């Protein structure tokens, strides 16, 4: 049940068995069926979520009613509206399941309890935030300064596992492209070989 999380944390920091035991007491396991919401825009963002199995996606809806995928998360990823979680505000994203999914939910208070009891946990969170920050920055530079094809190739290289399991039109959305455009790019790449 907690294997994936244990592996993830101990790949970054060391824990004593007691510390790990405590962390597990703070997680709320939950199963989510495909298409079900985990979080909706406007909800209080009371928790952050670790994916044990399955696949989730977060997205915003703009004024024109268009969905924009913000993030995908598969096994071993955290997902949530980080800025809302940190600032204790209402979520501006929706999160839903693209497959039947098992997650561990951690409430804000639970995070704080862990930080108090497990000194290395704060470092783990900082590393997580940093990694997130760096990845987002790369994505921003790519979004601003490359063509659609380059964006697609870059994503394929960086997240090959995700490409294989999420619908193509959501990848298009993540990249800021129209589904038709992505379809044509794929065709072109295939024929280039």
Partner DNA sequence: CGATTTTTTGAATCATATCAACGTACGTGG
Partner DNA sequence: CCACGTACGTTGATATGATTCAAAAAATCG
76 contacts DNA (rule: CB under 7 A): no
Q: Is the distance from CB of 82 to CB of 128 less than 8 angstroms?
A: no
To the nearest whole angstrom, how small is the minimum distance from the Cβ of residue 177 to DNA? 4
Provide the token pair at 137: 């920055």
133 contacts its own copies (rule: CB under 8 A): yes
Closest by Cα among 101, 107, 102, 91 to 25: 107
111 contacts DNA (rule: CB under 7 A): no
Burial 100-137 (b: 16+ CB within 10 A, else e): ebbbbbbeeebbebbeeebebbeebbeebeeeeeeeee
Residue of 7, 134, 180, 189 interacting with DNA (CB under 7 A): 180
182 contacts DNA (rule: CB under 7 A): yes
62 contacts its own copies (rule: CB under 8 A): yes
Question: Rounded to a whole number, what is the distance in angstroms from the first to the last CA of the chain?
Answer: 43
168 contacts its own copies (rule: CB under 8 A): no
* Interface contacts to its own copies, rule CB under 8 A: 60, 62, 66, 68, 70, 82-83, 86-87, 129-130, 132-134, 136-137, 139-141, 143-145, 175-176
């Amino acid at each position: 049940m907690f294997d994936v999380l244990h592996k993830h944390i101990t790949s970054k920091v060391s824990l004593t068995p007691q510390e790990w035991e405590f962390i597990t007491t703070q997680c709320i396991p939950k199963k989510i069926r495909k298409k079900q919401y985990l979080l909706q825009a406007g909800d209080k963002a009371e928790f952050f979520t670790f994916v044990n199995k399955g696949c989730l996606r977060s997205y915003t809806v703009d004024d024109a009613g268009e969905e924009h995928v913000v993030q995908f998360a598969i096994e071993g990823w955290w997902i949530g509206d980080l800025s809302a979680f940190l600032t204790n505000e209402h979520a501006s994203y929706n999160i839903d399941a693209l497959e039947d999914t098992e997650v561990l939910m951690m409430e804000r208070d639970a995070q704080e309890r862990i930080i108090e009891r497990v000194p290395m946990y704060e470092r783990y969170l900082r590393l997580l935030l940093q990694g997130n920050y760096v990845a987002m920055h790369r994505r921003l530079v790519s979004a601003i300064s490359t063509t659609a094809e380059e964006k697609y190739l870059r994503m394929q290289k960086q997240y090959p596992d995700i490409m294989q399991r999420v619908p193509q039109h959501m990848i298009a959305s993540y990249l800021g492209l129209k589904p038709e455009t992505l379809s044509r790019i794929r065709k072109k790449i295939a024929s280039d070989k």
